[in-house]
Amino acid sequence: MKKEVDFTKVVAHAKEYGFVFPSSEIYDGLAAVYDYGQLGVELKNNIKQYWWRAMVQMHENIVGLDSAIFMHPRIWKASGHVDAFNDPLIDNKDSKKRYRADVLIEDHIAKMEEKIEKEVEKGRKRWGESFDEAQFRATNARVLEHQQKIDEIHTRFAEVMNANDLAGLKQLILDLEIVCPISGTRNWTDVRQFNLMFATKMGSVIDDSDTLYLRPETAQGIFVNFLNVQKSGRMKVPFGIAQIGKAFRNEIVARQFIFRMREFEQMEMQFFVRPGTELEWFKHWKEERMQWHQALGIPAECYRFHDHEKLAHYANAATDIEFRFPFGFKELEGIHSRTDFDLGRHSEFSGKKLQYFDPELNESYTPYVIETSIGVDRMFLAVFSHALKEETLEDGSVRTVLSLPTRLAPYKAAVLPLVKKDGLPEKAREVQHLLMPDMMVQYDEKDAIGRRYRRQDAIGTPFCITVDNDTLNDNSVTVRHRDTMQQERVSIDQLLNRIKN
Ligand code: GAP
């Protein structure tokens, strides 16, 4: 039987096996900043490659970009980040702890959603095979009562957020009787705004005009290069520009491991379309991005869309793809219809016309934009936490297995000589070198074979290839499959193809 593990085990496993370390750990760490270890960097690179292949390589009308982190400070004025990239903060006067007011409300809603899930679970246990979940959700009195409350909170929440009504936000927290998790009291300060951008200075003579910001998103690097790419690449609308790169945000409530970090990486694509066609393209990208996630083989019920009630002033549609993390459903990716806001603002602030001449319409216009934006680290956490399982075997022992999708696994295969003598290590090295040009392969000869299998299970290696005495005679090896633990004999001549398939 396979069982998902709790979140503390996910964090511990990531560290123990060299996936993720707290940054600057020997100096007691730096809050919400993490380093990726020897296996983490492989998994992360594979995620980036999986995205790049799907978005750039598989679309002839999408090209890549690698823009600088430092950009002209007026860019952030034009984008709205200087004036409006804020989080609403609230302090508890007793514990002196600071919270994001909107997150307190979202957490409150999540707890109510959990209550609904518990009712559904109870129903499932009670009715067994004949349980009709959809009907239960539509008719059960308790579920309906919780849902009605959630809907009411959502409506009020959207109203105060849309109106930027900080007093209303505080009142909602008071009305919902939300308490500080540390002090347990409702002794809250007023809500105020806090800008999330990190500032730094450029050059040796420092005054205010030299203030630069570490980019809080990679998107603006794409917008300001719109004309460069369109003209030099002779791109025709609709077309997209994709970029992977670091972003920085001074997150106040930085928690849940690599879910919310101060330095993180984004994979963003801006798709430029004819005005008036943007909602069709929004729908298209919504579906295509969900397919991308599900193609990894993670069950569909781990994902859901969350359409935004509070639309940013520049957007005319927005949705999140949420993933079921160990701490509940949370945003994994955002898909936004950003209208002509970004190109329009950069035209205004730079004085350069960022337009496209459409030969079919014989007119120039400012293209509209559909954005897809996903955090590499959040994607890492999604696949890693979902993959980590504890499995009770028939003999009662427990094995920890990281069932990563094969294309994302750091090592695709491990080559293991059964014993460290009789020419088996030499033969195993031959097998290793046969596979190395095509995939990441690990060689391991230390400890009993069972322990070596377990080590590979724990780091997600899909195939263990064992070289034994028979290998020297029949030129074949035993291939053990990580998830089923089944073994098969494969000729070395066919090994590469077998594994690649
Ligand atoms: N350009 C649009 C944009 O940046 P966003 O919703 O703020 O939109 C997009 O961020 C994605 O970036 C999120 O869905 C999430 O995956 C990731 N992300 C945002 N803030 C993050 C943080 N502090 N730590 C890790 N990932 C983050």
SS3 content of the chain, % helix, strand, coil (to 5): 40, 25, 30
In the chain, the amino acid numbered 424 is: L
In angstroms, the CA 463 to CA 432 distance is 12
pLDDT of residue 310: 73
pLDDT of residue 209: 65
pLDDT of residue 205: 61
In angstroms, the CA 345 to CA 332 distance is 28
Ligand 1 atom nearest 320 alpha carbon: 14
Mutate to test the pocket of ligand 1, among 51, 103, 194, 217 (most ligand atoms within 8 A of CB): 217
Q: Tell me, using a 6 A CB cutoff, whether residue 333 lines ligand 1.
A: yes
Is 3.30.565.10 the CATH classification of the domain at 411-500?
Answer: no
Scanning the structure block, which residue is given the tokens 């379309």? 273
pLDDT of residue 238: 98
| Residue 305 CA to ligand 1 centre (angstroms) | 16
Torsion of CA 286, 292, 293, 298, to 10 degrees: 130
Q: Tell me, using a 6 A CB cutoff, whether residue 87 lines ligand 1.
A: no
pLDDT of residue 208: 61
The continuous run of DSSP H or E covering 233 comes out as none
Long-range contact list for 431-434, CB < 8 A, 24+ apart? 431/465, 431/467, 431/477, 431/492, 431/495, 434/492, 434/495, 434/496
Over residues 99-125, the pLDDT tens digits come to: 999 999 999 999 999 999 999 999 999
In angstroms, the CA 470 to CA 475 distance is 8
User: What are the strands, taking DSSP E only, across 308-420?
Assistant: 317-325, 328-339, 356-358, 363-365, 368-375, 388-392, 398-402, 413-417
| Residue 401 CA to ligand 1 centre (angstroms) | 29
Ligand 1, atom 25: closest residue by C-alpha? 260
| Residue 153 CA to ligand 1 centre (angstroms) | 24
pLDDT of residue 439: 97
3-state secondary structure of 356: strand
Concatenating the DSSP letter of every residue in 155-189 gives HHHHHHHHTT-HHHHHHHHHHTT---TTT----B-
CA angle 71–72–78, rounded 5-degree value: 105
List the one residue out of 200, 216, 173 whose CA is nearest residue 84: 216
In angstroms, the CA 408 to CA 387 distance is 11
Non-local CB neighbours of 276 within 8 Å, separated by 6+ positions: 368
Ligand 1 atom nearest 268 alpha carbon: 1
In the chain, the amino acid numbered 22 is: P
In angstroms, the CA 175 to CA 345 distance is 39
Q: Tell me, using a 6 A CB cutoff, whether residue 375 lines ligand 1.
A: yes
**Tokens matching residue 363:** 């007119």
| Residue 373 CA to ligand 1 centre (angstroms) | 7
Of 3-17, 229-243, 352-366, least confident by mean pLDDT is 3-17
| Residue 248 φ then ψ, to 5° | -135, 130
Strand partners, 415: 443, 465
**Tokens matching residue 288:** 């295509």
In angstroms, the CA 246 to CA 334 distance is 17
Quick one: residue 485, left, alpha or beta (phi over 0 = left, psi -120 to 50 = alpha)?
left
pLDDT of residue 367: 98
Q: Does the pLDDT at position 307 exceed 70? A: yes
pLDDT of residue 211: 87
| Residue 291 CA to ligand 1 centre (angstroms) | 20
Over residues 418-459, the pLDDT tens digits come to: 999 999 999 999 999 999 999 999 999 999 999 999 999 999
Over residues 388-408, the pLDDT tens digits come to: 999 999 999 999 999 999 999
The continuous run of DSSP H or E covering 351 comes out as none
The continuous run of DSSP H or E covering 293 comes out as helix 278-294
Scanning the structure block, which residue is given the tokens 């001449």? 357
| Residue 119 CA to ligand 1 centre (angstroms) | 32
Mean pLDDT of the 13-19 span = 98
In this prediction, residue 179 has a pLDDT band, given cuts at 50, 70 and 90, of very high
Mean pLDDT of the 352-374 span = 97
| Residue 103 CA to ligand 1 centre (angstroms) | 15
Q: Does the pLDDT at position 353 exceed 80? A: yes
Q: Does the pLDDT at position 316 exceed 70? A: yes
Q: Tell me, using a 6 A CB cutoff, whether residue 222 lines ligand 1.
A: no
Q: Does the pLDDT at position 161 exceed 90? A: no
3-state secondary structure of 499: helix
Number of C-beta neighbours around residue 90 at 10 A: 23
| Residue 443 φ then ψ, to 5° | -110, 135
Instruction: State how beta strands 388-392 and 398-402 pair.
Output: antiparallel
Which class would CATH give 1-71+215-400?
Answer: alpha beta
In angstroms, the CA 450 to CA 447 distance is 8
CA angle 427–428–429, rounded 5-degree value: 90
Sign of CA dihedral 161, 163, 169, 172: negative
User: What are the strands, taking DSSP E only, across 11-111?
Assistant: 20-22, 34-36, 62-65, 86-91, 98-100
In angstroms, the CA 246 to CA 34 distance is 13
3-state secondary structure of 112: helix
Q: Does the pLDDT at position 204 exceed 80? A: no
In this prediction, residue 240 has a pLDDT band, given cuts at 50, 70 and 90, of very high
CATH of domain 86-195: 3.30.40.230
CA angle 10–15–21, rounded 5-degree value: 120
Mean pLDDT of the 212-229 span = 98
pLDDT of residue 5: 80
Mean pLDDT of the 196-208 span = 80
Asked whether the bond before 238 is cis by omega within 30 degrees of 0, the reply is yes
**Tokens matching residue 384:** 């890693």
Ligand 1, atom 4: closest residue by C-alpha? 217
| Residue 363 CA to ligand 1 centre (angstroms) | 35
pLDDT of residue 175: 96
Mean pLDDT of the 456-478 span = 97
pLDDT of residue 207: 62
Q: Does the pLDDT at position 85 exceed 80? A: yes
Mean pLDDT of the 451-468 span = 98
| Residue 32 CA to ligand 1 centre (angstroms) | 14
Q: For the chain, what is the mean pLDDT?
A: 95
Ligand 1, atom 16: closest residue by C-alpha? 375
Domain ranges for the chain? 1-71+215-400, 86-195, 411-500
Ligand 1, atom 2: closest residue by C-alpha? 373
| Residue 375 CA to ligand 1 centre (angstroms) | 6
Mutate to test the pocket of ligand 1, among 214, 285, 373 (most ligand atoms within 8 A of CB): 373
Answer yes or no: are the C-beta atoms of 90 and 101 closer than 8 Å: yes
